[in-house]
Structure 1
């Protein structure tokens, strides 16, 4: 029977009998029970995990606000991928609108009508409701269509991998069927109720209804078809609800929970090893070693492949795909829980382990995977735990073992005696102050490479000249300085790292100073974010040298006026300075202060591509298709706006300098570009000014010394 309504509204269960309504409610109750039980099982499994090293639930309201902002704004989906950001925003906002709309309708039917005997689902409210639902529902369908196009027509490479399976197809196609099916139902109802005039607000459904009408569909046929269409739609929708906890749709819950419980310093600092843990228990020995947050990480992964797309190890042909590592752990846990597999090593060099040792050795600890992950998976904590296991079982590469032994015996990775650490100062015509013997403003932690590596000693001398010229109160630890331990920790040598923290902290505590300044971003990161975790008294202000020198230049204490040199350069953001600690502008301001024209590479700031030296990369040997340093130099010369005009490749990290000097040779770029540190560039600018007749505070005496300020 066709129902003609006199005011804007619609019958919710049109053509559905009271028995049909009862059956629907029974199925809905079953779906909800299955859903709730599935969610409970998931979270109960997390509760079986180990206690996490960090407090994940402090300031819970603030965490929820942050997570809501990140999730609702889709800000991480838009990063590096405008298409993906628009697609996900359409799907998310459309889905939430449809969910909220369905909830409002349920409130009206099941509560408001029963209490008041009336409905608020009429008049202007109904018209507004219908328009918003049609508009946002349309965006939902468009978004899902974009996802289908990218996955099946374009076949976006990062969406496919060994963990891509049937559940991915079922998920995306179910969303599409539900979205399109809703409009088809709406169109059948509009035709069947003979086009009520107010239904034009449901513009998508109305347009489809006009199409049905033009094709000859009668009101009676529409009414006949509506019943099976409605039930098909209802069963699919309720099946989807029940299906959520069992497969990929669960990421809608686990991802939000993961963002809520994220560590704001994840990757910058790593979880420690409990003091009472024996060597046999260090690292991932079994799936039970994962903390509840690490278990949640594995469920939060949406297989989007963003981490895979930005991983420099994967791009270089190394056997690491960050997504696969996380999903390998998930699959192993699920199969173990279900009794479908036997227990094996999580990480080992060969054999039947979940993850192969070579995979973990490939990681550069650059944190690009974590920065790109839209759901805050903390890959680096998993990778470090596996590296610790390799360390404890003696499965590290021989060059890494040698470097660790050198650090243990001599306090540096080169194996040179500690007494040679200050030898870089010998070519300076002034004495570098000893912070152990006099009070200073800045305790300068020089680092291994600027102290022992001849190439990087030039950086240390350049920085010393700048400090001397600007009249900075500074001093160094001389032979009492030891390796900072940042990369020692990231290759898995936690015990050695703890020893270094203890020794360096003791030496630093014995000095009188106000602030610490580091040459190396790796030292800067671990002093700033990790030492205080082990030594609460290590609460000093910590700076990278570019931050300090930028202040000196801004205050006019160095004497640059921005016209000293005029060639074109590009700048590489070091991972530990930029992506780890958000310092992007100070080095750039220093480059500009020299008068050099800065041409940005396409991948810059948080999107910077790692040099390959982090995470022990300086000490390892890999078979690679193209070294990360070679790829980065190619990008500098071919992909920047300035192209081949780029003359110098500017760095602000000794490890980067080392890797790129090697990349120049192996990539055959020696005649094309020069590697230069920011400190060296500043000294070159000062020498250029002097050569052009400059004087005063900016004057330098020659290539080995610095003149005094007037």
Structure 2
């Protein structure tokens, strides 16, 4: 006799039980839909987004689906976690799709046709896939349980860890294992039909149960209890998705879809009406910022890479996002009274010192698998502190210097180009003659003695390669990047407006910046500002009306990008044998993570002949020097300092170890922070801090057989083509 290759879906379930099941299923779907609606309706009370988030939606959805389904970001820095999540996600989706297919057969296809497609080859294929992917699901959950409870991975536990997290993972485990148990009972009761071997996990479970003494009659009785337990647990899970941690399955995908590729490197501009600029209330956060809060899965990846947290500062990016979420939910539920979002002392959601600790390095955003845009929310809170005057005295001094002198040092603008006095050639004045490159030198290369050497080295490289460059002299001011991230938006606007007006008065083709911070803000932020909104404001010292460089017709470069082309084209005459020792290189946050410039600095370094030994944390994983986000101007009680930790890494964790002679940087802020860290960390006798320009000039000197050094003033013959 031929056995029909299928199975009875509602085996042992009476018609009354079947009706009860459908009633419970309808209730769970209604609760699910209402919960999702309520969640998204909450976002409508939030502030509007200043940038488009839903433009080109089909392309966004397609790209996000690729990102989410590939688990690409989850494999970054954590292969175990990537495999674990891939097993869970693909297993869960397969079980969900399989259940949906079964529902279509039972509730649509059979009533319409009187037949079932859940038989024969389709049934066998279905069973094999469901068992295989379901098994991966259980393995993934097992990996999660091991990591959480046996290995006790530290970043999975924090002050926001709760029974909700335990319930979530154990519910998934019970659903996965429970499904195989009831499948095994069904196969055992049926006498282990040959075609059921495709359900290899369930078949194995059935054999184990039989070995334990479970007979067909007991299997049938246990199946009824198991089926109802599994059904109620599954329907309860569906109903609770919008009200608990499982909502991240929806909010995370929505967050990736609405992600801004320029987030962090381009902060949202302040509207002229100043509406929802600061963080006075939770509803001042935009709907995307509130979606960020709901998308957080508490994975702690941001915590693990945060240099502020590693240095003992009172900042944990995960806790800030979850603190805001918790406050919002408690406020909506009437479980708390309104209080300041952020304040210096007193009862507030976030403490001022927490935000002051942020280095704006974007490591948290780079590590986040669901594209939470921490810096947007952090900046909003910093703006609130600045608006209230609740910033540190050191930052108040910086603001005062900028308002009075246009630079963070408080020195005379007339001294801005004094660094060039020691050169044997004149640096062109871009205000008076046409040049190819307008060179924005920056504050630290202009006023800081150590970084003046970098400016002179770069000037010499431009001169010897025959590049046409000019500077603004006293018309150059501070670029505004870091004070914007500290929350001083209007001073940033004043500085940006001044510069774009100065640019308009000059005749040049491209802009080159010494500082990655200047490079970032001129490349990504100046073009986003609608200066016309503020041009008529009597407080604003500019009349420029409109957007500057909106279409990117003026390329903006960091000096390493320009110098790499000079090296590659042979205009500096290097042959790669000039120097012979080992160095390591630090990727500046604003050059690397912000703008993906990784190869140009390395090509220049290798062109000098040195051996480049990479630190373990390099490229997008680079560890911040501590100078960003205002850290350059503030003092913190921390042990170790980020700069000290990075220097330790250079000497202890690289393959060459103490053989590393020089620590190479490409950022004036990094230079300042690491020179300080070399002293405070006791590394003065162990290695030297040099800029790429200084390394390159050393190679030029070695080739010419002279030793004037990076800051040397001796005239050299041009090697220009």
Shorter-chain-normalised TM-score: which range? over 0.9
- TM-superposed CA distance for 1:324, in Å, is 0.4
Q: Is the 8 A contact 2:293 2:322 kept in 1?
A: yes
CA–CA distance in structure 2, aligned partners of residues 57 and 192 of structure 1: 53
| Alignment-derived partner of residue 97 in structure 1 | 94
| Alignment-derived partner of residue 11 in structure 2 | 14
CA–CA distance in structure 1, aligned partners of residues 240 and 654 of structure 2: 48
Q: Is the 8 A contact 2:698 2:710 kept in 1?
A: no
Q: TM-score, normalised by structure 2?
A: 0.96
Q: Give the alignment partner of residue 640 of structure 1, picking from 633, 651, 654.
A: 654
| Alignment-derived partner of residue 675 in structure 1 | 689
> What are the superposed Cα offsets for residues 368-397 of structure 1, whole Å, 9 maximum, x if unpaired?
000000011110011101111100111100
- TM-superposed CA distance for 1:537, in Å, is 2.6
Aligned residues: 701
CA–CA distance in structure 1, aligned partners of residues 710 and 372 of structure 2: 50
Q: Specify every segment of 5 or more residues in structure 2 that has no aligned partner in the other structure, as ranges.
A: 531-546
| Alignment-derived partner of residue 121 in structure 1 | 118
- TM-superposed CA distance for 1:699, in Å, is 13
- TM-superposed CA distance for 1:707, in Å, is 2.6
CA–CA distance in structure 2, aligned partners of residues 332 and 685 of structure 1: 57
Q: Is the 8 A contact 2:456 2:710 kept in 1?
A: no
CA–CA distance in structure 1, aligned partners of residues 217 and 562 of structure 2: 80
Identify if the C-alpha distance between structure 1 residues 704 and 411 changes in structure 2 by more than 3 Å, giving closer, same or farther: farther
CA–CA distance in structure 2, aligned partners of residues 523 and 437 of structure 1: 23
| Alignment-derived partner of residue 423 in structure 1 | 418
| Alignment-derived partner of residue 511 in structure 1 | 506
Report 1:483-502 matches (<5 A). 483-502=478-497
Q: Give the alignment partner of residue 520 of structure 2, picking from 512, 516, 525.
A: 525
CA–CA distance in structure 2, aligned partners of residues 61 and 464 of structure 1: 48
Q: Is the 8 A contact 2:456 2:711 kept in 1?
A: no
- TM-superposed CA distance for 1:332, in Å, is 0.5
Q: SS state of the match for residue 647, structure 1? A: strand
- TM-superposed CA distance for 1:7, in Å, is 2.2
CA–CA distance in structure 2, aligned partners of residues 505 and 20 of structure 1: 74
| Alignment-derived partner of residue 469 in structure 1 | 464
Identify if the C-alpha distance between structure 1 residues 623 and 238 changes in structure 2 by more than 3 Å, giving closer, same or farther: same
- TM-superposed CA distance for 1:701, in Å, is 12
| Alignment-derived partner of residue 144 in structure 1 | 141
Q: Give the alignment partner of residue 541 of structure 1, picking from 547, 551, 555.
A: 555
Q: Give the alignment partner of residue 301 of structure 1, picking from 278, 296, 300.
A: 296
Q: SS state of the match for residue 648, structure 1? A: strand
Report 1:695-710 matches (<5 A). 704-709=714-719
- TM-superposed CA distance for 1:692, in Å, is 7.9
| Alignment-derived partner of residue 109 in structure 1 | 106
Q: Give the alignment partner of residue 556 of structure 1, picking from 548, 556, 570.
A: 570
Q: Specify every segment of 5 or more residues in structure 1 that has no aligned partner in the other structure, as ranges.
A: none
Q: Give the alignment partner of residue 276 of structure 1, picking from 255, 265, 273.
A: 273
Matched, 1:689 2:703: yes
| Alignment-derived partner of residue 358 in structure 2 | 363
Q: TM-score, normalised by structure 1?
A: 0.97
Q: Is the 8 A contact 1:527 1:542 kept in 2?
A: yes
CA–CA distance in structure 2, aligned partners of residues 439 and 35 of structure 1: 65
Report 1:592-611 matches (<5 A). 592-611=606-625
Matched, 1:70 2:67: yes
| Alignment-derived partner of residue 334 in structure 1 | 329
- TM-superposed CA distance for 1:53, in Å, is 1.0
Q: Is the 8 A contact 1:686 1:699 kept in 2?
A: no
Matched, 1:589 2:600: no
- TM-superposed CA distance for 1:439, in Å, is 0.8
- TM-superposed CA distance for 1:214, in Å, is 1.7
Q: Is the 8 A contact 1:255 1:301 kept in 2?
A: yes
- TM-superposed CA distance for 1:642, in Å, is 1.1
Q: Is the 8 A contact 1:701 1:707 kept in 2?
A: no
Q: SS state of the match for residue 663, structure 2? A: strand
| Alignment-derived partner of residue 663 in structure 1 | 677
Report 1:249-268 matches (<5 A). 249-268=246-265
Q: Is the 8 A contact 2:95 2:130 kept in 1?
A: yes
Q: Is the 8 A contact 2:573 2:719 kept in 1?
A: no
Q: SS state of the match for residue 690, structure 2? A: strand
- TM-superposed CA distance for 1:703, in Å, is 5.6
Q: Give the alignment partner of residue 306 of structure 2, picking from 311, 316, 341.
A: 311
> What are the superposed Cα offsets for residues 315-352 of structure 1, whole Å, 9 maximum, x if unpaired?
00000000000000001001111111110000000110
- TM-superposed CA distance for 1:217, in Å, is 1.6
Q: Is the 8 A contact 2:277 2:284 kept in 1?
A: no
Q: SS state of the match for residue 475, structure 1? A: strand
Q: Is the 8 A contact 1:77 1:88 kept in 2?
A: yes
| Alignment-derived partner of residue 394 in structure 2 | 399
Q: Give the alignment partner of residue 381 of structure 1, picking from 376, 380, 384.
A: 376
Q: SS state of the match for residue 42, structure 2? A: helix
- TM-superposed CA distance for 1:366, in Å, is 0.2
> What are the superposed Cα offsets for residues 286-329 of structure 1, whole Å, 9 maximum, x if unpaired?
11111111111110000000000000000000000000000000
CA–CA distance in structure 2, aligned partners of residues 81 and 5 of structure 1: 51
Q: SS state of the match for residue 439, structure 2? A: strand
CA–CA distance in structure 2, aligned partners of residues 33 and 592 of structure 1: 63
Report 1:50-199 matches (<5 A). 50-199=47-196
> What are the superposed Cα offsets for residues 486-533 of structure 1, whole Å, 9 maximum, x if unpaired?
001001000100000100111111110111000000000001110001
Q: SS state of the match for residue 570, structure 1? A: strand
